[in-house]
Structure 1
Amino acid sequence: MADVVDRYFSAYNAHDLDAVMRCYCAKPVAVGPGGPAEGRSEVASYHTGIWQAFPDVHATVLQKVADGGITAVAAVGTGRHTGPFAITTGEVLGATGRYVSVRCCWFFGTEGGLIVDQQVFYDQLELYLQLGLPPGRPGA
């Protein structure tokens, strides 16, 4: 159902963790470039980590396509990097103060009006270059 995805993005952009988590089922799975988050506490931790790294992060939905229990969303995520950010090498990047604008795509699986699984894809090279990381060694 696309309605829960709309609620998700509204809550995400408000940085309202309680409202975000009300969009998920009891045992959600979320997968992104940093790996999987399984269960409500890991999914909640993922969101708080993003909001700590980018306190003003905002996702602008460009396109949404729903087919049964699957919803795909193309968006642009923007924000200023002012807190610690765990990159995919496992390292934590300190605040750079840089503003980023990154294209991303989400796939949501829903059942009973709740998100059961979510996958997010974004151009990591685009993000890392905007954060000032060298293209050959993201953590260097």
Structure 2
Amino acid sequence: MTDAINMHDIRGILACYSPGAVYVTPSGVAEGHDQIAWMYEQFFRAFPDFRATAWFELGDCENPAVTEWTYTGTHEGPLMLPDGREIRGTGRHITIRATCSTFVHDDKIVTHREYFDQLELYSQLGFGLTKIEHG
């Protein structure tokens, strides 16, 4: 899967998932191949040089497999926010830490839960916390 992600090979990525798989990210939930492909396409569009480096993998155990990653890339294209708005490319480089737990059945991913700190990502893109209105 890491090779397919780093080659931005959507077909190769989807070959790792069962047809009804669920992919959970801080940005939202995707169910099935069409939605999962769309999620990856959006990220690759925002970061055309996106690269994932696995630096810890716990995969030779009962479910779930756990991986810790470093994600890098340059924000060149629109990045969709969870509320549907888009951030235009900033040209900024990101390096963020992430982890995932993956449940596999019959050699296919059935549930992939990915976690990363959105504030870390948005801060590296030049955005931080916004003022929270009380009321």
Query: Relative to total residues, which structure has the larger helix share, 1 or 2?
Result: 1
1:80 corresponds to 2:112: no
Q: What is the count of residue pairs matched by the alignment?
A: 130
2:45 pairs with one of 47, 52, 64 = 52
Distance 1:129 1:39 in 2: 31
2:105 pairs with one of 108, 111, 117 = 111
Shift of 1:69: 2.9
1:39 corresponds to 2:32: yes
Moved more, 101-110 or 60-69: 60-69
5+ residue gaps, structure 2, are none
Distance 2:63 2:105 in 1: 6
1:12 pairs with one of 5, 10, 15 = 5
Runs of 4+ off more than 4 Å: none
Shift of 1:70: 1.5
Shift of 1:27: 0.5
One-letter identity of the residue aligned with 1:77: Y
5+ residue gaps, structure 1, are 1-7
Percent same amino acid at aligned positions? 32
What's 2:19 paired with?
26
Whether the aligned pair in 1 keeps the contact of 2:119 and 2:128 (CA below 8 Å) is: no
Shift of 1:136: 2.3
